[in-house]
Amino acid sequence: MTTVHARFNLDYPNFALDVDLDLPGRGITALFGPSGSGKTTLLRCIAGLERVAGGLLRVHGEVWQDGTMFRPVHSRRLGYVFQEASLFPYLSVRRNLEYGLRRVPRAERKVQLEQVVEWLGLNKLMDRDDPSGLSGGERQRVAIGRALLTSPSLLLMDEPLSALDLASKQEIFPFLERLHDELDFPVFYVSHMLDEVTRLADHLVLLEQGRVIASGALGETLSRLDLPTARQDDAGVVIEARVAEHDETYQLSRLDFPGGSLWVGKVPRGTGALVRARVLARDVSIAIVPPQGTSISNILSARIAEIRYEGRDRASLRLAVGDRQMLMSRITRRSCDLLGLANDMQVFAQVKSVALIA
């Protein structure tokens, strides 16, 4: 379902943006790329903070700008969370939260103050007069709440975690994950951290030097070997799975996904819960006969869908497990040749480690 269409063409002396994108109207879309790839500029164009002549933007069937009209930022129903929280220093926490809310006509308010306060755990902060006394994580939570309170039809987040220390990041993540589960409007999330993206996103847009090099469902896009994400050290795939059973004796849980199952350390969720796991390419090794006498408990039957050599020493494999799930494996080129691996071969993928991310 495509409900956001964006086309922007910017030509600055040192930077060009050339983007024509159809994006889903639900879930979290990550705009991912190295710094200077144009992801923040794209987000600013969508918000109207960057005025691009001839740009085209349609959100849920509403034209926000085209060749003839340009809807100014304040008339676009969007929320924007900046890298730094940008709270108004002269307003109390409550007033900050209410700033946008007051400017939305009553009939258009879908989000209530009490809801957001409860949801982001802001209760204790409400009476603070001076927001400069808040911690980085608290400030960003207030900023997220303030944006949500405008009842946006599109939420834009520009690396909302990058200015925070690890502890504050851990504090915010659960809220972002709930955002993912509970909101019915799309979120565009700019990030240059692959682990953030794999935890949160449903859809992935890869940018490089102002151009879109890939746009697609997260799992599919992450398993593509032709993209720069596959060459990162933490390259890997995402598996959406259900908790199938718990093993109390060994404190393990079995996760089922279409095409197979994985045993992981006990998951603090009931059976039937939907979880997201990440398997890194470097943690998957290949055997051509069923491995025996191995300590690795997760062995999946897979078909080689693609082999790609990286330099002279390494090889990356894309493996199909069942009909839909993909895995990636990174092995040495020598092993690849010794085992005589080729496309469409049936092999066994030995998964050394699985990280539960949501």
Residue of the chain from 9, 86, 135, 301 that contacts another protein (CB under 8 A): 86
Residue 72 binds to another protein (criterion: CB under 8 A): yes
Mark out the alpha helices in the chain (DSSP H runs).
39-47, 93-101, 113-119, 136-148, 166-182, 194-200, 218-222, 333-338
- Min. distance of Cβ 86 from another protein in angstroms? 4
Closest CA to 216 of 206, 225, 226, 207: 206
Give the rounded distance of the alpha carbon of 319 from its chain centre: 22
As measured in angstroms, the least distance from the Cβ of 99 to another protein is 5
Name the CA dihedral angle for 42, 47, 48, 51, rounded to a multiple of 10 degrees.
Answer: -10
Cα dihedral sign, 58-64-68-73:
negative
For residue 47, state whether it binds another protein (rule: CB under 8 A).
yes
Minimum CB distance to another protein smaller for 84 or for 306: 84
**Which stretch, 144-152, 160-168, 175-183, 314-322, contacts another protein (CB under 8 A)?**
144-152
- How far from the centroid of its chain's Cα atoms is residue 200's Cα? 4
Closer residue to another protein (CB): 132 or 249: 132
Q: Is 188 in the site for another protein (CB under 8 A)?
A: no
Binding flag, residue 73, another protein (CB under 8 A): yes
70 DSSP 8-state letter: B
- Judged by beta carbon, residue 157 or residue 317, the one nearer another protein is 157
- Is residue 150 close enough to count as binding another protein by CB under 8 A? yes
**Ramachandran category for residue 190: left, alpha or beta (phi over 0 → left; psi -120 to 50 → alpha):** beta
Binding mask 95-114 for another protein (x = CB under 8 A): ----xx--xx----------
Q: C-beta of 111: minimal distance to another protein in Å?
A: 13
**Cα–Cα distance for residue pair 293/109, rounded to 1 Å:** 61
Which residue in 78, 237, 239, 307 binds another protein (CB under 8 A)? 78
Q: How far apart are CA 352 and CA 263, in angstroms?
A: 11
Cα 342 → chain centroid? 32
What is the spatial distance between Cα 316 and Cα 127, in angstroms, rounded to a whole number?
54
Q: Quick one: 150 or 198, whose CB is closer to another protein?
A: 150
What are 327's two structure tokens? 């895995």
Out of 89, 268, 270, 340, point to the residue binding another protein (CB under 8 A): 89
The residue (of 75 and 353) whose beta carbon lies closer to another protein is: 75
Rule CB under 8 A: is residue 215 a binding residue for another protein?
no
Q: What minimum distance in Å lies between the beta carbon of 5 and another protein?
A: 21
Is 350 near another protein (CB under 8 A)? no
120 neighbors 139 (Cβ within 8 angstroms): no
CA distance 238 to 354: 10
Cβ proximity to another protein, 99 vs 173, nearer residue = 99
Q: Which residues pair with 35 in a beta bridge?
A: none
Q: How far apart are CA 278 and CA 275, in angstroms?
A: 10
Q: Select from 49, 217, 252, 357 the one that contacts another protein (CB under 8 A).
A: 49
Q: How far is the CB of 146 from another protein (least distance, A)?
A: 7
Q: What angle do the packed helices 166-182 and 136-148 form, to 10 degrees? A: 20
Size of the site for another protein (CB under 8 A): 23
Q: Return the range that interacts with another protein (CB under 8 A); candidates 83-91, 230-238, 332-340, 342-350.
A: 83-91
> Can you spell out the DSSP letters for 319-336?
EEETTTEEEEEEEEHHHH
Stretch that binds another protein, among 32-40, 79-87, 199-207, 334-342 (CB under 8 A): 79-87
Q: How far is the CB of 93 from another protein (least distance, A)?
A: 15
Residues forming contacts to another protein in the complex (CB under 8 A) are: 47, 49, 72-75, 78-80, 82, 84, 86, 88-91, 99-100, 103-104, 146-147, 150
